[in-house]
Structure 1
């Protein structure tokens, strides 16, 4: 009798574990996560103790920033986190003075994103680099290259680690003429071959004369 009772308890325990393992870990259990498209509800912890995490129910998904208070940074009327991540706000990397995000206007290529810097303490937006100003960025090399405004006269190299900015001056309408001459769809198509060194940042630029110039921004 004792052995039979122990066997029944063991079976109940195993069935319970199996049931828990099959349930999604983040809320709604009406949709099964596939192997290629798992729900990403795990928490990202930042150096100051702040958190970033996904939540969802059977109607929507949302991205929450939490420090002293909670702030919803993004919400979608979709229950699939992966689908929600394909457009809109997307976290890239933590830096000493802010969190780096991109805002993807469409899924896939080839529209440049907005680049957004968010305060690590409050979750509020510090700076937004619109996609018509954005040239290039690299989270491994820790920089963003962009124009200060749509006059396109000051190209800025921002070092995300140090938060220092260095610039290169272009003549008025020089960049706009280059866009027309080279028949490019996006501003960033004028720029290529980015190289970061200790003292400067080099890149190729297609000029309004139809030639490629190698330019550099000095780190003074």
Structure 2
């Protein structure tokens, strides 16, 4: 059996540059090229990987979830305007309208400081009581009427101490003196003479002349204020 001769492929002759360009690039005019590119770009589907621009579409469910997350994050992180501010407690201050009570000028048993009034009060307490009520009521009530009422209550009903305790309370509130309503009743019940003498001395030390009455005391104070020169004029003299 005779072996077949091996056929060797003959190399094709080299092509000229003109033929190579004629075979590889077809003859297309510029108008055909632009038309082909346009048709190629329009025929490419949006989902293909060759599309240059892809617009991501958000599903309604995912958008709703994002809005819920953003709202929850906004609620969890308070804004600067909603952050509660802590201030130090204000210093304790006394109210402006608060009144401070003061002590009586003389004690309850200091009757020896005014012997004359002590004797008058011991013998006829209605006189001292009438003079006290005229000053406390600022002239709205009569000294003689109040003294007469006191005498009737003391002689007939034996309860004049409660009537005088009412004026002691009025006097305390008027001059901001220490004491209580219960204390006023107890003092006038057990020490009527000493209580009236203490009230008389208190008004006398505050500048009142109880023998003149309320109106005479006001006229005397007004006259003293008119006749007294101001301090700067006296210094010039």
Do they superpose with TM above 0.5? no
Identify the structure with the greater strand proportion: 1
Higher relative contact order (CA 8 A, sep 6+): 2
- Relative to the length of structure 1, the TM-score reads 0.19
Identify the structure with the greater helix proportion: 2
- Relative to the length of structure 2, the TM-score reads 0.18
